[in-house]
Amino acid sequence: AGSRRNLSGRMREMLPRDAVTALERLGGLAAEAGERAFLVGGLVRDIILHRRNTDVDVVVEGAAIDLGNRFAREYGWHLHAHQRFGTAVLLGPEGERIDLATSRIEHYPYPAALPEVEAGSIKADLFRRDFTINALAVELDGTRFGRLLDLFGGLQDIRQGTIRVLHSLSFVEDPTRILRAARFEAELAFQIDAQSLRLIRNAVDLELPARLSGHRLFRELRYLLEAGGAVEGVRRLAGLGMLRFVHPALEAERDGAVERVEAGRDVLDWYRLLFREEAPVRWKVLLTLLLWKLPPEELGDALTGFEVRSRDAHRITGDRRRADRFEQAVIGGAVRGEDPAGVFEHLERISLEIVLALMAVTGHAGVREAISHYIQHLRGIRGALSGSDLIELGVPQGPEVGRWLERLVRARVRGEVNSAEEERELVVRTEGPVNE
Ligand code: ATP
């Protein structure tokens, strides 16, 4: 069945030579045991689309861990086996990585449940996947190496740019696929096909996404927020009525939520042009903006429900409060935008992500300008002298040292000192010369 297309030339063009060799060897070893191994998933799609992707997923009609063991022994790779799942990760000497799984069939005992799994054919394995564009496989056995196995029309859907589910219960089995559809559509600039869109609307009308755990929902939302096209993805979710499953408060203000995420994307683009080397965590910026209208306590509850690491959740919630306080301080005149020390003291306590989120969301030009100035000129300013330098200069040990360290940073921020030497002079001028 399927097409007779062969992707081996394209694989050699797109993948490192060592990766192709490893796949050939893997296919060879599988064939020796009378088994078939296939390259599957997003990498096959991306090879066809000429997109970069480093996730090498291999499915074998046979025991994945045994195959991995034979490969590791023969070629000197490392194997991490997950006995419980029957999966394994092969790690090569140059940092290569291949994920191995046994082809499997999934049964969903009830809608949105985690599936029960058993071994099956490659066809069954591909059929359980989310979309036709992700359900292609490539044979790895020597004589057939590179041959495309296209059982569900995935190649044509890739060519036409269509996101299509494999069967009509797909979103009932797993509503996270709705978020995945929005993500792939936006990231690949594809279109969800009309029938799949109807199936999504049915699942949403039936409130099926409400059955997802916060953890699973958030995992896919985070991928979407990290992807290219995050704004279009969120807009699609809003149009589908999906935002209320992220948080009920988003139902009433979906347009505002999309606009905030869009403003966040623009601020992130601006930041990346200025500072190529440091990348803020996109999902933290965009998620905080999505939920900006929530009072901080409710934001904290939402993050807990998503099972965001508690350290991150606390930080984001605390920063969100500090961001409000800073905005109020500037609007109320307690901090003047032109006062670098005042701005610095507030913003230095807030993570970059939430500073950028505030810049995107504030309706106040003075706040925006103060943040812009801070990011371009003040952020990360440190004094040059250490605590022990200060003690050598005659500062008494104890809290005085800490006060001096802060004072030197403030002097730097104000431009009163610009070098270690000038810092020393300021200390000596104030404390008097060192008595030996
Ligand atoms: P990509 O397809 O770009 O690798 P991804 O990073 O989300 O996207 P993974 O989560 O690593 O991919 O999943 C790899 C493959 O597993 C997908 O290409 C898809 O075929 C399948 N898959 C992942 N999640 C689901 C799901 N919820 N339902 C069905 N199939 C899925």
Q: How far apart are alpha carbons 375 and 357 in whole angstroms?
A: 13
Task: State the pLDDT at residue 93.
Answer: 92
Task: State the pLDDT at residue 258.
Answer: 97
Q: Could you give the angle at which helices 365-373 and 310-331 cross, rounded to 10 degrees?
A: 120
37 three-state secondary structure:
strand
pLDDT at residue 155 above 80? Answer: yes
Confidence of residue 436 (pLDDT cuts 50, 70, 90): very low
The secondary structure of residue 165, as a DSSP letter, is B
Average pLDDT over residues 150-156: 96
Q: Which residues line ligand 1 (CB under 6 A)?
A: 41-42, 55, 129-130, 134, 174, 176-177, 223
- pLDDT tens digit sequence for 212-224: 999 999 999 999 9
Distance 412 CA to ligand 1 centre (A): 50
Same domain, 277 and 349: no
The secondary structure of residue 433, as a DSSP letter, is P
Task: State the pLDDT at residue 2.
Answer: 47
Please compute, for residue 327, the number of CA atoms within 13 A of its CA located in the half-sphere on the CB side: 19
**In this structure, how many other beta carbons lie within 10 angstroms of the beta carbon of residue 80?**
14
**Pocket probe mutation, ligand 1, options 57, 106, 125, 129, max atoms within 8 Å of Cβ:** 129
Same domain, 86 and 177: no
Same domain, 282 and 414: no
Residue 284's Cα: distance from chain center in Å? 9
Asked if residue 88 belongs to a domain, the reply is: yes
Distance 180 CA to ligand 1 centre (A): 8
User: Which residues are paired to 131 by β-bridges?
Assistant: 165
Residue 46's Cα: distance from chain center in Å? 18
Distance 130 CA to ligand 1 centre (A): 7
Asked if residue 418 belongs to a domain, the reply is: yes
Higher-confidence residue of 85 and 159: namely 159
Final residue before a domain boundary, out of 141, 160, 179:
160
Final residue before a domain boundary, out of 349, 378, 407:
378
Residue type, 266: D
Check the CA dihedral 419-423-428-434 and report its sign: negative
Distance 42 CA to ligand 1 centre (A): 7
Same domain, 197 and 272: yes
N-terminal to C-terminal alpha carbon distance within the chain: 91
Same domain, 273 and 391: no
Distance 83 CA to ligand 1 centre (A): 21
152 three-state secondary structure:
coil
Mean pLDDT check: name the lowest of 132-141, 164-173, 211-220, 269-278. 269-278
Domain count, the chain: 4
Same domain, 306 and 175: yes
Residue type, 38: F
Contact between residue 199 and residue 174 where contact means Cβ atoms under 8 Å apart: no
- pLDDT tens digit sequence for 311-365: 999 999 999 999 999 999 999 999 887 888 889 999 999 999 999 999 999 999 9
Phi and psi angles of residue 329, each rounded to the nearest 5 degrees, phi first: -65, -40
Q: How far apart are alpha carbons 190 and 198 in whole angstroms?
A: 17
User: Which residues are paired to 138 by β-bridges?
Assistant: 39, 148
Task: State the pLDDT at residue 72.
Answer: 97
| Ligand 1 atom nearest 177 alpha carbon | 27
What the block records as the tokens of 354 is: 């939430």
Task: State the pLDDT at residue 142.
Answer: 83
Task: State the pLDDT at residue 1.
Answer: 45
What the block records as the tokens of 401 is: 């040292």
Task: State the pLDDT at residue 434.
Answer: 57
What is the domain extent for residue 322?
311-378
Q: How far apart are alpha carbons 322 and 354 in whole angstroms?
A: 9
Q: How far apart are alpha carbons 101 and 61 in whole angstroms?
A: 9
Same domain, 340 and 400: no
Contact between residue 78 and residue 69 where contact means Cβ atoms under 8 Å apart: no
Contact between residue 104 and residue 119 where contact means Cβ atoms under 8 Å apart: yes
Asked if residue 3 belongs to a domain, the reply is: no
Asked if residue 267 belongs to a domain, the reply is: yes
Check which CATH number belongs to the domain holding 155 and give it: 3.30.460.10
pLDDT at residue 3 above 70? Answer: no
Phi and psi angles of residue 313, each rounded to the nearest 5 degrees, phi first: -60, -45
Final residue before a domain boundary, out of 310, 334, 353:
310
**In this structure, how many other beta carbons lie within 10 angstroms of the beta carbon of residue 189?**
11
What the block records as the tokens of 292 is: 């900006």
Same domain, 34 and 128: yes
Same domain, 35 and 140: yes
Whose C-alpha lies nearest to ligand 1, atom 12? 42
Closest residue by Cα to residue 406 from 434, 381, 374: 381
Instruction: Characterize the bridge pairing of strands 36-40 and 57-61.
Output: antiparallel
Distance 127 CA to ligand 1 centre (A): 13
- pLDDT tens digit sequence for 33-53: 999 999 999 999 999 999 999
Check which CATH number belongs to the domain holding 265 and give it: 1.10.3090.10
Asked if residue 436 belongs to a domain, the reply is: no
Mean pLDDT check: name the lowest of 125-129, 301-305, 425-429. 425-429
Same domain, 13 and 156: yes
| Ligand 1 atom nearest 42 alpha carbon | 2
Confidence of residue 171 (pLDDT cuts 50, 70, 90): very high
pLDDT at residue 64 above 50? Answer: yes
Closest residue by Cα to residue 180 from 216, 214, 155: 216
Asked if residue 165 belongs to a domain, the reply is: no
- pLDDT tens digit sequence for 285-322: 999 999 999 999 999 999 999 999 999 999 999 999 99
Whose C-alpha lies nearest to ligand 1, atom 27? 177
Asked if residue 104 belongs to a domain, the reply is: yes
| pTM of the model as a whole | 0.90
Same domain, 305 and 321: no
| Ligand 1 atom nearest 176 alpha carbon | 27
Average pLDDT over residues 168-197: 97
Q: How far apart are alpha carbons 347 and 362 in whole angstroms?
A: 14
- ipTM passes above 0.85: yes
% of the chain at pLDDT higher than 90: 78
Asked if residue 421 belongs to a domain, the reply is: yes
What the block records as the tokens of 21 is: 């060799």
Same domain, 135 and 180: no
